[in-house]
Structure 1
């Protein structure tokens, strides 16, 4: 689809001229008032809405029309009256927006912003796995590519993964992919022994380990724990609760959307947060009286951080980078996402 501008876009601004492409993404522009004004001007001219994931840089979150998780943002894209969606996140998220809004133009400020978790299983991998278990039901986390979603029976989020798996005939095998830590959480909660789990991971979440969590708990014994189920420390958090090191009611295994909901309800003075560090910005805004601290302050996704102020300005100025999903793939993927929404509470995304 060709973007129709309400009026010509002026590309000869000094800001756009200063953009350079480097190894970590586009640079050369600072996120100041001039940048913000130019971004808003171009968004208006392109009839565009800007969506930003919770893991984005604070400046990107502040300029966005909507901030949230991938599923919430895909829904916002579908509901938005604007015909152009600028998705500040990683590539599979922009694909999801395109799947749910096929008639709209979807741009990602840097198409190189990938995802180690989504990349941990390909469509070819899934076809081979399915051939080994021909009667199994395929459950895919939304953090997957469009091609994988198209081969999936039903998608899930971290909020409703347990409900989705429990809805499946207990005699049917389940192939759960791609995150091994979320899969282990689902298997533990459901008690299901016929669930096969793909050995994928988000390298950022997997790097938040149990030793770090234990050390943080020992240093702050009265803190509450917000732990994303993709984390390598999720099992350790439940172990600490089971051993009584941390009271069970202070251990929360939550999606990032769930963390925001819980932030407004917590009575704790301090909360240890195990997820990508970009989430701290939204948590601190939601509950400024609470001391939110990362379990691992190095847990920053380099792909998320490729969506720089310069990349966003470039995307709006020249219409880059457009996301395409072929019609057949999009149709099949859309069905697996729509089936997910009827099970439990899909929450706001991953």
Structure 2
């Protein structure tokens, strides 16, 4: 019997890759799907930390990343030894880590969060009287501190894609719109961008905002996130004027170079059993990383729609 191959693709991959997938989604959706997939082989068209998460949640499956170079700046900007020392300097704090992190990083965490459930989980911890440190995304942590009055110490890494969005370029773009304009933004963006957004939320959250939009059809909707999601937004609402937010004057061209390594040829090769196999994690590493992930998944399934 041939092995059952399941292909997962993140919203930030190219449209042709999404059309090859059995499931397209954001980090939380794909994490849940990977955990429950009855698959012999999981091909993860995304980046390495996502494939690692799939392996941690479904260790019996063979997980393949189409291109070995598909990493993330939040991972490459985080030195694990320095992270461990930072965590140990806050012994009475709960360490909450964004899912955009390596398996080693997750193993040093108490909770894992996604951009969809981070608000709820951190609010839950504060309601329990806990103190929190947050890693690795500095921009997301800064927004949470600003929005809710937290005082979380933050790690210093950023997403190199979202960090390029800036207030000056947005001001110029808004000035060039004669009618109504909106901004929706991912919380990995810098705080000045998020402060002027009409909606801040996860990739799926922004997509749902677009799907449910009932305002003027002539309005311009600027989208401050990776350009891959524009495909899904245009598919859902071809009647809307959706434009990627600029990163500098005149430029609407912000793509994740690591996501775009997932080419048709690379995904096809992975489906045939080639590519980068996630077989380097030890059982001890996976056990340590799985605990905070499963804590998040249990919370999300109970509390987060």
TM-score (norm 1): 0.79
Looking at structure 2, the residues matched to 133 and 217 of structure 1 have their Cα atoms a distance apart, in angstroms, of 42
Structure 1 residues 286-306: Cα deviation after superposition (integer angstroms, max 9, x where no partner):
111112110132211111111
Looking at structure 1, the residues matched to 300 and 27 of structure 2 have their Cα atoms a distance apart, in angstroms, of 18
Report matched runs for 1:1-350 at 5 Å: 6=1, 45-169=2-126, 172-193=130-151, 195-220=152-177, 221-232=179-190, 234-238=191-195, 240=196, 251-268=198-215, 269=217, 270-296=220-246, 297-324=252-279, 325-343=281-299
SS at match of 2:199: strand
Contact 1:226 1:253 in 2 (8 A): yes
Structure 1 residues 269-325: Cα deviation after superposition (integer angstroms, max 9, x where no partner):
231100011110111111111121101322111111111111112222343221122
Looking at structure 1, the residues matched to 32 and 297 of structure 2 have their Cα atoms a distance apart, in angstroms, of 11
Contact 2:143 2:194 in 1 (8 A): no
Query: CA 1:342 to 1:81, structure 2 compared with 1: closer, same or farther past 3 Å?
Result: closer
Looking at structure 1, the residues matched to 272 and 298 of structure 2 have their Cα atoms a distance apart, in angstroms, of 39
Stretches (4+) displaced over 6 A? 345-348
Query: CA 1:55 to 1:285, structure 2 compared with 1: closer, same or farther past 3 Å?
Result: same
Query: How many Å apart are 1:175 and its aligned residue?
Result: 1.3
Looking at structure 2, the residues matched to 212 and 147 of structure 1 have their Cα atoms a distance apart, in angstroms, of 37
Looking at structure 1, the residues matched to 126 and 210 of structure 2 have their Cα atoms a distance apart, in angstroms, of 36
Contact 1:46 1:316 in 2 (8 A): no
Unpaired segments of 5 or more residues in structure 2? 247-251
Query: How many Å apart are 1:332 and its aligned residue?
Result: 1.5
Query: How many Å apart are 1:333 and its aligned residue?
Result: 1.1
Query: How many Å apart are 1:73 and its aligned residue?
Result: 1.2
Query: How many Å apart are 1:189 and its aligned residue?
Result: 2.2
Query: How many Å apart are 1:344 and its aligned residue?
Result: 5.8
Looking at structure 2, the residues matched to 178 and 137 of structure 1 have their Cα atoms a distance apart, in angstroms, of 14
Looking at structure 1, the residues matched to 291 and 86 of structure 2 have their Cα atoms a distance apart, in angstroms, of 21
Query: How many Å apart are 1:343 and its aligned residue?
Result: 4.1
- Structure 2 equivalent of residue 10 of structure 1: none
Structure 1 residues 10-31: Cα deviation after superposition (integer angstroms, max 9, x where no partner):
xxxxxxxxxxxxxxxxxxxxxx
Contact 1:122 1:148 in 2 (8 A): no
SS at match of 1:117: helix
Query: How many Å apart are 1:119 and its aligned residue?
Result: 2.1
Equivalent pairs, count: 293
TM-score (norm 2): 0.90
Contact 1:67 1:73 in 2 (8 A): yes
Contact 1:205 1:231 in 2 (8 A): yes
Who wins on radius of gyration, i.e. which is larger? 1
